[in-house]
Structure formats: C-alpha cells, structure tokens
Structure 1
Amino acid sequence: MAYSVKEMFYSLQGEGHHSGRPSIFCRFAGCNLWNGKEASREQSVCSFCDTDFIGTDGQNGGKFRTEQALVEAIEALWPEQAEHKYVVFTGGEPALQLTNELIIALQKRGFECAVESNGTLPLPSQLDWVCISPKGSAEITVTECDELKLVFPQEAAMPERFTDIKARYRYLSPLNDWQQSTLIFNSNTQATIDYCLAHPQWRLTLQSHKILHID
C-alpha cells in the first residue's frame, strides 16, 4: 500500500496522557471531516481545525510506496541508539491510511505505535495506544480507547454525549482560535477548568507545544 504523508518530525507530545514524551509524529494527508480548504471551513463538520494536512509537501513528507519505505523514514528520525521508541500517527484523519501491516513492521523495530483519530472510522487492531477526539456531530464508531480527548466546548459534541465510550482516561482541551499560533487564556479555558472541577472524571489538558513554541 502507498502512503501519503504531509509531514513527519521528532518533538515532544504536547497534550493528553503522554504530554512531554519524546515522539515522532507522522501526519497523514487527508481528512474525512474537512477537505482542508478555507472556502469550506464553515460548512465542515470540524470548523476549528488548526492543522495543514493537504498534500505531501511538509517537513519529511512525501509519497511512500511501501510499508518498508515509510518505516525506514520514521526510524531515521529517532535519535541513534535511543530506546523507548514512540510514533504517533495523526492527520487529518490517520484511519484513512493507517494499516496493521505498517504498525507491525514498526513494532518489529521496537516502536510503540499510537494514533490520534476523530473516531469515525475503524482503527487497526495492533495499535499500542488509541486516542480519539470526536468532532462536532460526526458519528463515532470507536467505542473503546485508551484516551478520550475532547475539544471543549463544542455545541454538538459536549462531554455528556460520550458517556458510553469506554476510555481509560478522559481529557478536555479548551477550544482555541484556530488562527492563534499561541495558546491564550480565554473564556473557553475557564469554562473547561470549571467543567473538570464539576466533573472530576475529566482532566484538563493544554496544548503545551503552543505554550512552549515548539513543533
């Protein structure tokens, strides 16, 4: 199978349960909730996306014709001789391209494999960590995950809607202006804090990579 990758880079995980963990991020091109074009943003299911996932022209991006080619490109980004290899597949929507074959090939190289998905499509069974982040009114098909991370508030995706999802951890991330490259404290941040305090099964997570100005 061929893979279209927008970008790949080595950095720290900025949010959620693995916040601060050194990780390789593999961002697949394409999404099923928005085409990535500004002209259609307001009409899309996910209108607040702050990510460019169109094409394959980003850092270390490209078309990879085989699992082996992509595995080698990912492994080349990990520090030489370093252990605890960790790769996060994201997008767009990674479930459009991610396969068990790719995951198994990376696991054979010592990688833990995680995904950040909107939860609308089936995910490969071999993943080591599953984070889903529902968006708007989109129907969720993934009903069990390690981490449920919800942008808050969303009128059509409030926390009460997802009580049936089995998740080890539940996080709320304050909705930020998609045009802001820096995380700012606003009314959504305060509302998220207040909700977590009133519903302690949820935990606050912030986009620390924006606070720290790292990729």
Structure 2
Amino acid sequence: MSYAVKEMFLTLQGEGLQAGMRAVFLRFAGCNLWSGREGDRARAECTFCDTDFVGTDGDGGGRFADADALADRAWGFWLRDLDAPGGQPLVVITGGEPMLQLDAPLVAALKARGFRVAIETNGTLPVVDGVDWICVSPKGGTAIRQRSGDELKMVWPQPGLDVAEIERWDFAHLLVQPLDGSDPRAAHAACVDFVLRHPRWRLSLQTHKMIGLR
C-alpha cells in the first residue's frame, strides 16, 4: 500500500496526557468527515477543524510507496538534533483521519525502528491492532466505532455529543479541550465549568499553540 502524507515534522506533543513529550508528528492527508473539494483548504463536517489535511505539499509530506519508506522517513526526523539517545521514540499518527491509511504493515515498520506508536483519531473507524496509545476525539453527530482506548479528548463546547454515553465507553482518561474557534475565552470558561461539574474529566490545553510550536 502507498501512503499520502500531508506533513511530517519533529516537535513536542502539545496536548493531552502526553503533552511535552518529544515526538514525530505524521499527518496523513484526507479525512472521512471532509466536506470540501480537492484543492480547497480543508473544511470538515465538524465545522471547527483547525488543520489543513488536503494534499501532500506540507513540510515533510509526500507520497510514500510502502511502509518501510515512510517509517524510514519518520525515523530520520526522530534522529534530528539529538545530543544523546534516551527515552522511547514516539510517533504520533494524525490527520485528517489517520485510520483511512494507517495499517498493520506501517505499524510493524514503525515499531521495528523502535517507535512507540500513538494515534489521534475521530473514532469513526476502528483502530488497527498494535497501536500503543489511542486518543479518540469524537465529533458530534458521527457514529463512533472506536469506543475504547487510552485517552478520550472531547472538544467543548460542541453540540451533538452525549456526555453520559461517552462516559460509558472504555477509556483510561477523559479529557475536555476548549474549542479553537472565534471566542476562545468563552470556550475556556465552558471547559472549566464542565470539569467542575464532571469530576471524572480533566482539562487539556493546546500548549503548543501557546508557545508557538506546530
């Protein structure tokens, strides 16, 4: 299988339970909730998408003929600027919707190079076996098939989500994250209020945007 990658880069994970960790971000092109046309900037049915996932023209992006070629490129990013080895290499597979492309051969190829594999998905497609860290961010009005994992990250406020139903799913951690929209102060206040009223949840902030990382 070949792979279409929008962009790939070395950074720090900016949100969720793994915030602050050194990571290679591998952003696949394409999304099953996309309502735009090829060539337009990405627009998603969830209406608040903050990511351009159209095409393969981003930094580190391109088309890769097979899993080994893509895993080799990711490993090259991990090796950049290292003063000394340490810790387990982390690759975060995201999109768009990464489960349109992530498959068992790529998971195996990444692990063969020493990566711990994390995914950030909208949950409408089941996650392939072998992924080490599953983060699902559900979108209102969609049918969620991946109802278990490590981290449930709910963008808030967001219509069409049944919080009581979500709390019945099998996730180790429940996080609520302010919607990156036209009124960030209101979104932050809504999330603080939500956590105060729902103590099983904790607040997640997009720290990479606060400090100017990608």
TM-score (norm 1): 0.91
Unaligned runs of 5+ in 1: 179-183
Query: Would you say 1:99 and 2:103 are equivalent positions?
Result: yes
Q: Which residue of 1 aligns with 2:15?
A: 15
Q: Output the CA distance in 2 between the equivalents of 1:162 and 1:119.
A: 12
Residue deviations 1:94-124, cap 9 Å, x none?
0000011111111111110000000000111
User: How many residues end up aligned between the 2 structures?
Assistant: 208
Residue 154 of structure 2 aligns to a residue whose secondary structure is strand
* Structure 1 residues 156 and 20, CA gap change in structure 2 (3 angstroms): same
Unaligned runs of 5+ in 2: none
Structure 1 residue 88: Cα displacement: 0.3
Q: Output the CA distance in 2 between the equivalents of 1:126 and 1:13.
A: 20
Query: Would you say 1:174 and 2:181 are equivalent positions?
Result: no
Given that 1:93 and 1:118 are in contact with CA atoms closer than 8 Å, whether structure 2 keeps it comes out as yes
Q: Which residue of 1 aligns with 2:24?
A: 24
Q: Output the CA distance in 1 between the equivalents of 2:162 and 2:204.
A: 16
TM-score (norm 2): 0.92
Residue 106 of structure 2 aligns to a residue whose secondary structure is helix
Per mean C-alpha deviation after superposition, the further-off stretch among 25-34 and 157-166 is: 157-166
Q: Which residue of 2 aligns with 1:186?
A: 185
Structure 1 residue 185: Cα displacement: 4.7
Amino acid at match of 2:60: N
Q: Output the CA distance in 2 between the equivalents of 1:52 and 1:143.
A: 26
Q: Which residue of 2 aligns with 1:181?
A: none
CA RMSD, 1 decimal: 1.7
Residue deviations 1:4-33, cap 9 Å, x none?
000000000000000001100000000001
Q: Which residue of 2 aligns with 1:67?
A: 67
Q: Output the CA distance in 2 between the equivalents of 1:154 and 1:53.
A: 21
- Aligned identity (percent) is 45
Residue deviations 1:138-173, cap 9 Å, x none?
100011110000000111025233122110001000
Q: Which residue of 1 aligns with 2:90?
A: 86
Q: Which residue of 2 aligns with 1:151?
A: 155
* Structure 1 residues 188 and 73, CA gap change in structure 2 (3 angstroms): same
Q: Output the CA distance in 2 between the equivalents of 1:100 and 1:48.
A: 30
Give the counterpart of 1:134 among 127, 131, 138: 138
Amino acid at match of 2:103: T
Q: Output the CA distance in 1 between the equivalents of 2:42 and 2:103.
A: 29
Q: Output the CA distance in 2 between the equivalents of 1:68 and 1:55.
A: 21
